[in-house]
């Protein structure tokens, strides 16, 4: 009995610290909620965008927990990932169906460097529960061709290669472009590793960004439209969905009647605080503390 009490005290002493790692804000209500409340509210949406900072461990832990809760609420769920590209869909399907080993899957699917720690839990959860996972993104080599050579660079591709690329590539001169260009300029100003001449190619780099968004939007809808229509949880870098721009915008254009929810992370310097304008970043905000370098 004494040991149980000690363990309980230790757990309770840890909980407040864990709770302070992040806060979730319901933008419509402008108030803090807990993860389970967010999962329940997301039940009303057709497509959910979970925007992440790719290297943030807190967000990755929340992703898998939210996925589990959402699946518990709705078994008719599929997962979509920016982190896998269309041309490895067959390999991904084979692994999920136990047709190939994990070693073969990893050798043939070009997983991101942080796959083992951050995306493997999602794939293994899908495998265990027989969920569809969409390898949504355009193969990187094709996006790179646009960023280096321009929009016409893909014209020479074969029919077989083009099936991995969206059929509708739209480059809008809008808020998304303004934010993208400014972000790229800021990154270049603070990095000595940016290739020479990149500043001159920002329009082409933006076009490459757009074809990623278009391809992911098309990939998601190809699977979401299969009867019976299923709920989609799509994981991507936050830039692809923040403020309902990027991939979120492209899906809404293709399917105006879909209910789309965006989860957006927000870094806070000192306290967990947000401003009125932050509420436009998504239906839900995940507030995180900035790491202070010593």
Q: What are the structural domain ranges in the chain?
A: 21-289
Phi-psi region at 110: left, alpha or beta (left = phi > 0; alpha = psi -120 to 50): left
Architecture of domain 21-289: 3-Layer(aba) Sandwich (3.40)
Using DSSP's 3-state secondary structure scheme, residue 290 falls into coil
* pLDDT top residue among 90 and 149: 90
pLDDT digits (tens, 9 = 90+) for 38-86: 999 999 999 999 999 999 999 999 999 999 999 999 999 999 999 999 9
Contact 70, 233 (CB under 8 A): yes
Phi-psi region of 149 (alpha: psi -120 to 50; beta: other; left: phi over 0): alpha
The pLDDT assigned to 256 comes to 96
Q: Which of the pair, 287 or 9, is modelled with greater confidence?
A: 287
CB 262 within 8 A of CB 283: yes
Q: What are phi and psi of 232, to 5 degrees?
A: -115, 130
Q: How far apart are CA 65 and CA 235, in angstroms?
A: 13
Q: What are phi and psi of 203, to 5 degrees?
A: -65, -40
In 3D space, the residue among 115, 113, 36 whose CA is nearest the CA of residue 68 turns out to be: 36
Asked whether residue 195 carries a pLDDT value surpassing 50, the answer given is: yes
pLDDT (mean) for 126-136 = 98
Continuous segment of H or E residues that includes residue 236: strand 231-237
Mean pLDDT of the chain: 90
The reply to whether omega before 228 is within 30° of 0 (cis) is: yes
Question: Please, which pLDDT band fits residue 29 given cuts at 50, 70 and 90?
Answer: very high
């Amino acid at each position: 009995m004494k040991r149980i009490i000690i363990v309980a005290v230790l757990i309770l002493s840890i909980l407040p610290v864990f709770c302070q790692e992040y806060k979730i804000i319901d933008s419509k209500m402008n108030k803090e909620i807990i993860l389970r409340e967010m999962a329940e509210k997301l039940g009303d949406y057709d497509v959910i965008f979970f925007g992440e900072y790719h290297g943030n461990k807190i967000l990755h832990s929340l992703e898998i927990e939210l996925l589990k809760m959402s699946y518990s609420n709705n078994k008719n769920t599929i997962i979509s990932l920016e982190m896998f590209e269309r041309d490895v869909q067959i390999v991904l399907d084979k692994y999920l169906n136990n047709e190939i080993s994990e070693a073969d899957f990893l050798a043939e699917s070009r997983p991101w460097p942080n796959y083992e720690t951050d995306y493997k839990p999602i794939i293994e959860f899908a495998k265990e529960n027989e969920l569809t996972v969409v390898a949504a993104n355009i193969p990187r080599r094709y996006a790179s061709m646009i960023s280096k050579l321009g929009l016409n660079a893909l014209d020479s591709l074969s029919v077989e290669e083009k099936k991995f690329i969206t059929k509708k590539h739209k480059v809008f001169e809008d808020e998304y472009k303004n934010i993208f260009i400014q972000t790229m300029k800021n990154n270049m100003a603070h990095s000595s590793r940016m290739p020479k001449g990149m500043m001159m190619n920002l329009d082409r780099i933006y076009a490459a960004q757009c074809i990623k968004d278009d391809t992911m939007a098309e990939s998601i809808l190809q699977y979401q439209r299969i009867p019976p229509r299923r709920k989609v949880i799509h994981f991507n870098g936050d830039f692809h969905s923040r403020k309902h721009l990027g991939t979120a915008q492209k899906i809404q254009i293709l399917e105006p009647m879909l209910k789309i929810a965006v989860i957006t992370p927000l870094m806070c310097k000192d306290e967990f605080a947000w401003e009125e304008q932050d509420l436009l970043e998504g239906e839900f905000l995940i507030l995180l503390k900035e790491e202070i370098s010593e």
